[in-house]
Amino acid sequence: MRHNYLFTTLALAAVTLMAGASATSEASIPEQDDNTPQPIISIIKQEHKPAWYIRQAALWKAETERNPRNDDAWLNYYHATRYAYWGDAEEQEDSFGKRLDAIVDEVAQAYPESYAQYILENFNQRMTSTHHPYEDHMEEAIRMRPDNVRYYPDYVVYLLSHDNEELLKDILHRWYESGEYSPSLLGYAYNEMIGMDSDGIIFVNGDVPTYSKLIVGQGKGLFPQITVVCVSLLWDEAYRQTICRKLGIPLYEAFGTSTTDAKAWEEGFEQHVIAHTKRTVYFSTLMEIPSFKDKLYSEGLIYRYSERPYDNLSMKKRNFEWGYLTDYLYEPMYPETYGASASRLNLNYIPCFKSLLDYYKTTGDKANYTRLYNLMKRIVYRAENLSDDERRQYHNEIDR
């Protein structure tokens, strides 16, 4: 029975976490002394209104003036300024990059050769379009503070592009051991990877799908041979070359002219990998639908690329019944560090497994039908920040 690439509006709704849309609401954050600067947490985990970030930027700036050798003050000052104009396209266009460039220049003058300078130079080069000619001291920064979990995302992005597998594995292992990363997101990543071939290649997009699979695969060491390819990082030539070398395939051409279609170029790289590798290629269900969707077959939370149709429903059935760990979906035993983001991601189980639920119903497999039905209902029940209308849509999808 053929079930190829299905990506419903419900699945798209679950992906809103990638933009931080389901971060912890401001109302749930305890009030703090207005004159005490607060740590700037990733907007994916905790989101405030612009005025709060503007106030924090002023407080952290004052802190850098009192103590210029305070690395964390500089880092908080930079990120408070960055988030103050998050989503404000007009402000970002006019002065966003200049504001951030100025902070990097300030730290370089006030606290040269510091951890803060090295981290912010690297981050700012990726964040803005001003292209300051910063020297590369990122690996030195990583070795200065290898246990600074807050900046592990920056460490990992850098190391992915610089082919230092030993240090990358060390940081991913430290990230896993820290207990800071969301247990629900790790559970989701495990379920994606457990159904793959042991040396499979999976294309993903976005920070959450990338980090979670790298931590499970490399940091915990469960799937060391699986290669995770982040599409959004392919624009970095160093990363692209690292991926090609790792897979043992020819290098892929750089992005062409300004008129080149970006999505077509990305798909061209995906097809380049498929054409030159003998390994099985998979795609995250959280990615935008590619033009070759008729060659993608659902096996649960991931899609396998295949030139020929095959009985992929049996693979989905196998994964759900024998591979997936689902206890965390019923009742998490560990504190959730990513708030509502994790619960919204779990909503993706519903469109991904609706065809299997229908199969169980049609074949009269009451035990597995009941198990999957109750799981889906529990996921909707536990999902945070859903409107009544959204919740009703999910229930209707399950029951139809």
Per DSSP bridges, beta strands 201-204 and 227-230 are: parallel
Predicted confidence band of residue 35 (pLDDT cuts 50, 70, 90) = confident
Predicted confidence band of residue 8 (pLDDT cuts 50, 70, 90) = very low
Predicted confidence band of residue 28 (pLDDT cuts 50, 70, 90) = very low
Type of residue numbered 283: F
The average pLDDT across 271-293 equals: 95
**Per-residue pLDDT at 13:** 40
How far is residue 392's CA from residue 213's CA, in Å, rounded to a whole number?
Answer: 31
Single out the residue in 145, 160, 182 at which a domain terminates: 145
Q: Are residues 222 and 319 in the same domain?
A: yes
Residue 19 vs residue 182, higher pLDDT: 182
Q: Which of 26-35, 100-109, 265-274, 328-337 has the lowest mean pLDDT?
A: 26-35
Q: Are residues 89 and 195 in the same domain?
A: no
Single out the residue in 125, 145, 165 at which a domain terminates: 145
Type of residue numbered 182: S
How far is residue 246's CA from residue 379's CA, in Å, rounded to a whole number?
Answer: 37
- Whether residue 198 is contained in a domain is answered as yes
Decide if pLDDT at 46 tops 90.
no
Type of residue numbered 209: P
- Whether residue 213 is contained in a domain is answered as yes
Q: Are residues 198 and 244 in the same domain?
A: yes
Please list, in sequence order, all residues whose beta carbon lies within 8 angstroms of the beta carbon of residue 55, skipping any fewer than 6 positions away: 34
Q: Are residues 84 and 216 in the same domain?
A: no
How far is residue 265's CA from residue 173's CA, in Å, rounded to a whole number?
Answer: 33
Decide if pLDDT at 92 tops 70.
no
Q: Are residues 234 and 213 in the same domain?
A: yes
**Per-residue pLDDT at 125:** 85
Q: Are residues 98 and 51 in the same domain?
A: yes
Residue 110 corresponds to which tokens in the numbers above?
A: 């006030």
**296 strand-pairing partners:** 305
- Whether residue 253 is contained in a domain is answered as yes
Rounded to 5°, angle at Cα 68 from 65 and 72: 105
Q: Are residues 219 and 335 in the same domain?
A: yes
Compute and round to an integer the Cα radius of gyration of the chain: 22
Decide if pLDDT at 273 tops 60.
yes
- Whether residue 50 is contained in a domain is answered as yes
Q: Reduced to 3 DSSP states, what percent helix, strand and coil does the chain have, rounded to the nearest 5?
A: 60, 5, 35
Q: How many domains does the chain have?
A: 2
Predicted confidence band of residue 7 (pLDDT cuts 50, 70, 90) = very low
Decide if pLDDT at 68 tops 90.
yes
The string of pLDDT tens digits covering residues 56-65 is: 999 999 999 9
- Whether residue 26 is contained in a domain is answered as no
Type of residue numbered 165: E
**Per-residue pLDDT at 3:** 44
Domain that holds residue 137: 31-145
The average pLDDT across 81-108 equals: 79
- Whether residue 322 is contained in a domain is answered as yes
Q: Are residues 192 and 61 in the same domain?
A: no
**Per-residue pLDDT at 87:** 64
Predicted confidence band of residue 223 (pLDDT cuts 50, 70, 90) = very high
Type of residue numbered 32: Q
Q: Are residues 355 and 394 in the same domain?
A: yes
How far is residue 203's CA from residue 207's CA, in Å, rounded to a whole number?
Answer: 12
The average pLDDT across 309-321 equals: 97
- Whether residue 124 is contained in a domain is answered as yes
The average pLDDT across 136-143 equals: 96
- Whether residue 162 is contained in a domain is answered as no
Among the listed residues 276, 271, 301, the one whose alpha carbon sits nearest the alpha carbon of residue 286: 301
Q: Are residues 249 and 117 in the same domain?
A: no
- Which residue in the block uniquely carries the two structure tokens 């999808």? 397
Q: What's phi and psi for 260, nearest 5 deg? A: -65, 135
Q: Are residues 82 and 208 in the same domain?
A: no
Q: Are residues 315 and 239 in the same domain?
A: yes
